[in-house]
Amino acid sequence: MASAAHFALVFVLVLAGALVRLWLLDARSLWFDEAFSWRLVQFPLGEMVERIGLDNHPPLYFLLLKGWVAVAGDSVFALRFPSAVFGTAAVVGTYLFAADVLAADSPAGPGTGAAWRPARGAGALAAALVAVSAFQIRYSCEARMYALAAMLAVFSSWALVRSLRAENGLGWWSTYATSALLLAYTHYYALFTLASQGAFVLLWLLFRVNFQGGEFLRHPVFRYALAAAALVVAGASPWLPVFLRQRGQVQAEYWTRPVDFWDVAGLCYAAFVAPEHGPATPRAGQLLAVDLCALGLWFLRRKARAGDWLVMFLGFGPFALCLLVSAADTKVFAPRYFVMAHMFWLVGLASLVGRAEPAPTRLTLAASALALAVGLSVQFWGEADLPGKPGARAAAAFLAGRRRPGEPVIASSPQLFFVFLYHNADREGIKYFSDGRPVVHYLGAAALKAEDVIDGGGLRTCQARRAWVVDNLTDNTWGLHTVPVPPHWVEVRRRSFPEVFGLGDVTVIEYETTAAANLKPG
């Protein structure tokens, strides 16, 4: 394909990826994680960084989001817009990485340098798969750090390929070290990606020098790679005490559980079929998904060149390390955390298609893979029924049309409190009910203020003639919470609003509290 036509095609793919992400950007309510992100960036910078340390993530995404909100505001569209940009940039990064790593002359082969030829077709297919992937789109439309992590994972890997090809190119090694450091400050799963990158470089260089120890130590790649690793370690070390404290609280208590086979099968199903699926998902579909992933890995390793091995390291190295850490140290397995590795699974698929001969067969397979990905994405977003499940946004609108000034709104859980606080224009009097037990770290304790909380005594002494309770009586993801309303609160009506992705219904309950006027505090 002529260069102009090829790059026009890549531009169309990137544009399509951007448009579908922007189209879905504000189609649903914020959910708990996103509302937590919004609340966290409302604090002054110094206090925000301290509160981030009480949570379970590094600070880079929140720092970027805070700067963006100061410029663009905090509408649903504005909050999610950076993730859409990062997700679109990941499409570009996937093309660059795949075109380089799947080149006719691999990074380790004799054709490196002037004879290197990019694999443009495989790169375009990989970029197209990322652009339309339901899994990638899902987390490019969320006010969280996953799309940023995916972008940095693929760009740091591309910089690594370029560094290995240049061998002694200080510019590319500096680019790699910088992007790797930013990745480390974005999400802790990045450590699995960085470890996989380092393991590949080590083995690549050992094979390059025929396992000669002296030559290994004298090779310029060893020196540059060591300097890059030292820069990343030195740059990340100021956050190390915070990381260790966060790791300790996750070890003590977290929402994840021990990993079993069906978790792995569910991850494969989420990555290629439906990012959000529940217990009713047929086991046969999950089995097929994990079998196809295993079969693809088996085919990819056959006659694999160095580029294919790097794809396997980046795609399946984090997966293996996560299983190891979850079994031996800290339970950290969750499908959405694999958004960084998932792109390399798609690059591996593009590599398999690119090996097919003759050319008509290759084109047929590429078109079929892309059509299947588009079909699955359309099916997922159609079944999600975003217009029919307005959730917290509709609940807040319902409340705003009936609530009078001074009437309290009591959320039954921190998750609902952050979400309802965001979606209500009048935030005065919105509280979270506490039964006296501390809020655990993974339920948003880092972003709660003392004045956000109301207890049983506060309910009993409420002087308003009407009060509202926001509850979720259908979802048991975090454990059901209810507000124990006093006997003199009489229920008048309730209205439920379904949320997407199996998050249950947001229920607004109206109470008359006429007897409260006769109560005395205490």
What is residue 505's three-state secondary structure? strand
CA-to-CA distance for 196 and 191, rounded, in angstroms?
Answer: 8
**Phi then psi for 438, rounded to 5 degrees?**
-60, 145
Q: Give the residue among 333, 323, 456, 363 at the shortest CA–CA distance from 121.
A: 363
What is residue 333's three-state secondary structure? coil
**pLDDT at position 213:** 85
**Phi then psi for 411, rounded to 5 degrees?**
-90, 140
Q: How many CB atoms lie within 10 A of CB 331?
A: 17
CA-to-CA distance for 187 and 189, rounded, in angstroms?
Answer: 5
CA-to-CA distance for 503 and 389, rounded, in angstroms?
Answer: 10
Cα 441 vs. chain centroid, distance in angstroms? 19
**pLDDT at position 255:** 86
CA distances from 147 to 97, 246, 312, 342 (A): 17, 22, 21, 12
**pLDDT at position 480:** 57
Cα 205 vs. chain centroid, distance in angstroms? 32
Q: How many CB atoms lie within 10 A of CB 336?
A: 18
**pLDDT at position 81:** 98
DSSP code for 424: -
DSSP code for 335: G
CA-to-CA distance for 238 and 183, rounded, in angstroms?
Answer: 15
**pLDDT at position 110:** 35
| Whole-number CA gyration radius for the chain | 25
**pLDDT at position 109:** 40
**pLDDT at position 398:** 95
Length of the chain: 522
167 burial class (0-12, 13-18, 19+ CB within 10 angstroms)?
Answer: middle
Beta strand 409-411 with 490-498 is unpaired
Termini Cα distance of the chain: 80
Kindly give, in sequence order, each residue whose CB lies less than 8 Å from that of residue 226, ignoring residues fewer than 6 positions away.
none
Residue type, 262: W
| 336 neighbors 95 (Cβ within 8 angstroms) | no
pLDDT tens across the length of the chain (522 residues): 557 777 888 899 999 999 999 998 999 999 999 999 999 999 999 999 999 999 999 999 999 999 999 999 999 999 999 999 999 999 999 999 999 998 854 444 434 444 456 688 889 999 999 999 999 999 999 999 999 999 999 999 999 999 998 866 789 999 999 999 999 999 999 999 999 999 999 999 999 898 888 889 989 999 999 999 999 999 999 999 999 999 999 998 888 888 999 999 999 999 999 999 887 888 999 999 999 999 999 999 888 888 899 999 999 999 999 999 998 888 889 999 999 999 999 999 999 998 888 989 999 999 999 999 999 999 999 999 999 999 999 999 999 999 999 899 999 988 899 999 999 988 999 999 998 888 899 999 999 999 999 999 999 888 889 999 998 866 555 555 788 889 889 999 999 999 999 888 899 999 998 754 444 443
Q: Give the residue among 342, 379, 377, 395 at the shortest CA–CA distance from 503.
A: 395
Sign of CA dihedral 101, 105, 106, 108: negative
| 340 neighbors 193 (Cβ within 8 angstroms) | yes
What is residue 433's three-state secondary structure? strand
